[in-house]
Structure 1
């Protein structure tokens, strides 16, 4: 890894640095407000590295733990990563530990940065790997700082437990505006409400996820045949 390669990777990842540090600090504070020790934030940020998945799991750890529900939620929320991987089959050609780093740390933001990078073939794999590693470090450092500062200063921010709900409401509205299939978005909301009424708060999420997965498969097949 040359200095020039490192400089290129760092420059490309600067937008992610500011975004991940800010969101990471928010996540660390959220974990601290839920009552977790600071190292929980670091451990989850470093090993899960799933953004929204981490917020979901953090909240679920405060309740009755349901492994199957966690597994299904993680799969559905992270399903798009499959398409990221397919899109990068030609770009990501590293081997050994570099290959592991590229695959493990393929987040939305890393995908966006590396997708538009066009380094020289001789430098490409080192730059892609370093961008991935830097983005991962930004998130872990942000989460750790948020939790450590929150613990040291005994911060208890009222309403911070609503951060996950607010986050997903904003994301849902944004996706609805961009979506070409408004009907599928509305049907997703309707299915979730019906499952909540039929199965209660304990099992509605599993039922809703299964039905939404079936709906997605049906729509995908219908569009493929069109």
Structure 2
């Protein structure tokens, strides 16, 4: 979980810092991390709130950007099925990074799989919350800006993708999304390109998986 620790602390710091510098109170950062807990959506919410968007528009935007979690959830149905105590929290706390860890790291022998998944999820949320709170507190007392902090999110995705490649040892599932997003850009499709790329990638991975 070391990559997630450093990634979430730095990304959370960037979020909290940007949130305060956008004119919002510092306590909104930890509150959003506890109630919403969706990194990309939280970053996006800063711009949406500043633009004066209504609850319906914000809700729809968050739904679209997090629609990929539907695919994550479907792939974890069997894993979560026997869980009872923490199942609802595990569903709530499923993020890209947590999903990558759960699908990469098998529970240790003689351990409780539900507790194993719970602690991974809980630690990740605590890293995110701590980082966001620290960034918000610092942002409320300093006067300078820190451009480029948001790149930490991209850096963390790269690290986790490399780990997934090492475990899966197949190039196809990772090339399909790249080809999909390039194709969408060539066609000039900018709006909702993330959702379309996810759909194309899911179909592509399903097809190559079916052939094998």
State the TM-score, normalizing by the size of structure 1.
0.68
Give the counterpart of 2:125 among 136, 140, 153: 136
Show the counterpart of 1:209: 192
Whole-Å Cα distance in 2 between the matches of residues 47 and 38 of structure 1? 15
Aligned length: 190
Residue ranges of structure 1 left out of the alignment (5+ in a row): 1-12, 193-207
Whole-Å Cα distance in 2 between the matches of residues 40 and 106 of structure 1? 21
Is the CA contact 1:20–1:139 (under 8 Å) kept in the aligned structure 2? Answer: yes
State the TM-score, normalizing by the size of structure 2.
0.72
Which has the larger helix fraction?
1
Bigger Cα Rg: 1
Compared CA separation, residues 89 and 182, structure 1 to 2 (3 A): closer
1:185 aligns with 2:185: no
RMSD: 3.6
Q: Secondary structure at the match of 1:69?
A: helix
Is the CA contact 2:11–2:153 (under 8 Å) kept in the aligned structure 1? Answer: no
Residue ranges of structure 2 left out of the alignment (5+ in a row): 162-173
Show the counterpart of 2:167: none
Moved over 4 A (4+): 166-171, 181-184
Q: Secondary structure at the match of 1:90?
A: helix
Show the counterpart of 1:82: 70
1:26-65 alpha-carbon deviations (Å, 9 max, x no partner):
1111111101111111111221111111100111111121
Is the CA contact 2:11–2:149 (under 8 Å) kept in the aligned structure 1? Answer: no
Give the counterpart of 1:111 among 99, 112, 136: 99
Q: Secondary structure at the match of 1:156?
A: coil
